[in-house]
Amino acid sequence: GEDVEQSLFLSVREGDSSVINCTYTDSSSTYLYWYKQEPGAGLQLLTYIFSNMDMKQDQRLTVLLNKKDKHLSLRIADTQTGDSAIYFCAEGEDYKLSFGAGTTVTVRA
């Protein structure tokens, strides 16, 4: 089976950058994903990266992929209070996803 691991908590000061890290084991995944879950809401797809890419930038979000080390990271620039949420890393094929346990990001003033 596939294992996806990520740290459980991250505390960051408003305005600073947040970096959430993830490691995975299945190297065959075509895409890797980052989801955001706010309290009481479903998971929302934030961004994804194709497995043959090293980096993808989307406004404040930067995804880095090190396929050799099976390491994925999500950087949020200028973190805001609205970024407080649980962030899930996921990988998979054909709509069958394996998720990490989620990183709870807390933004402090």
Partner 1 sequence: GAVVSQHPSWVICKSGTSVKIECRSLDFQATTMFWYRQFPKQSLMLMATSNEGSKATYEQGVEKDKFLINHASLTLSTLTVTSAHPEDSSFYICSARDRKVTTSTDTQYFGPGTRLTVL
Q: Binding residues for partner 1, per CB under 8 A?
A: 4, 8, 30-31, 33, 35, 40-45, 48, 88, 92, 95-102
CB of 50 to partner 1, least distance (A): 8
CB of 23 to partner 1, least distance (A): 13
> What's the distance, CA 65 to chain centroid?
11
CB of 43 to partner 1, least distance (A): 4
Give the number of other Cβ atoms within 10 Å of residue 57's Cβ: 12
Q: Which runs of consecutive H residues, i.e. helices, occur in 1-109? A: none
For partner 1, the closer of residues 7 and 27 by Cβ is 7
For partner 1, the closer of residues 12 and 43 by Cβ is 43
Q: How far apart are CA 86 and CA 37, in angstroms?
A: 5
Pairing of strands 103-108, 9-13: parallel
